[in-house]
Amino acid sequence: MLCAQGLELTLSGAGGPPSAHLSFHWNQPATLIQSLKSGLESSIGFTFRLYELRRTPWPFRGDKLVMQKTVTRTAYWDPLDGTFVVEQDDGTRRAYPDGAALLDAFFTVSQVLLSPTSSVRGRSLYTMARAQFEPVRLMPPLTLVSMVGATGSVATPWIRKDLP
C-alpha cells in the first residue's frame, strides 16, 4: 500500500510577490531508489492554487480562483553516467550523484511565484496545495495497465495556508 507521510507548505512574500515552498514526504524512499535503478521512471506533480476570499451572502458562489500552477517532475536513473536525473516540465534537467540528493530535489519545489506582482496587499488571499506522486510511471502501451488499477499513485489532500 502506498502512503504519503505528509506535505509541508511554506509561504513567503515580504517585500515582493508571494511565493511558495512545498515538500512531499514519503515513507518508502528506498523503494523509489531501487525502482529507478531497475530502469523505471517516477513522476510527481505539485499543484498550487491562489484564491481570493469572497464575503458574500451567497455561499454557493465560492471563493475566486486567482491563479493555478502545476510543476511536474520526472525522475529516472541514467546508467551511462551513473546518476539520477530529474526533468521538470519546463525542460530543465539536473543530475544527482546519490539517492539522498535526488530525494531532496525531487520531492521539494521552491520559489513558486503565486502572483506575478506584489498587488496582493490588502486582499484576503489563501493558497491551496497538493502533490500527486506516481512511484512507477508507465509508458505507452503499458498505460493500459493503469486503467484497470494495477499501478499505485499517491494524491495528498489539499492543504491550505493564508498569505502573510
Residue 3 has pLDDT above 70, yes or no: no
Q: Quick one: what percent of the chain has pLDDT higher than 70?
A: 80
Distance, CA of 162 to CA of 53 (rounded, Å): 10
Mind listing the pLDDT tens digit for each residue in 105-152? 999 999 888 776 556 566 788 899 999 998 886 554 444 444 444 457
Mind listing the pLDDT tens digit for each residue in 20-46? 999 999 888 898 999 999 989 999 999
Instruction: Give the residue-averaged pLDDT of 159-163.
Output: 91
The per-residue pLDDT of the chain, averaged, comes to 83
- Grid cell at residue 51: 484564491
The count of structural domains within the chain is 1
DSSP string of 1-45?
---EEEEEEEEE-TTS--EEEEEEEES-HHHHHHHHHTT-EEEEE
Instruction: Give the count of beta carbons closer than 10 Å to the beta carbon of residue 61.
Output: 9
Which has more confidence, 55 or 2?
55
Which residues constitute the domain of residue 21?
4-162
DSSP class of 90 = T
Residue 2 has pLDDT above 50, yes or no: no
Q: Can you give the pTM of this predicted structure?
A: 0.83
- H-run or E-run covering 69: strand 64-78
Question: 23, exposed or middle or buried, with CB in 10 Å at 0-12, 13-18, 19+?
Answer: middle
Mind listing the pLDDT tens digit for each residue in 64-114? 888 899 999 999 999 999 999 999 999 999 999 999 999 999 999 998 887
Distance of alpha carbon 150 from the chain centroid = 23
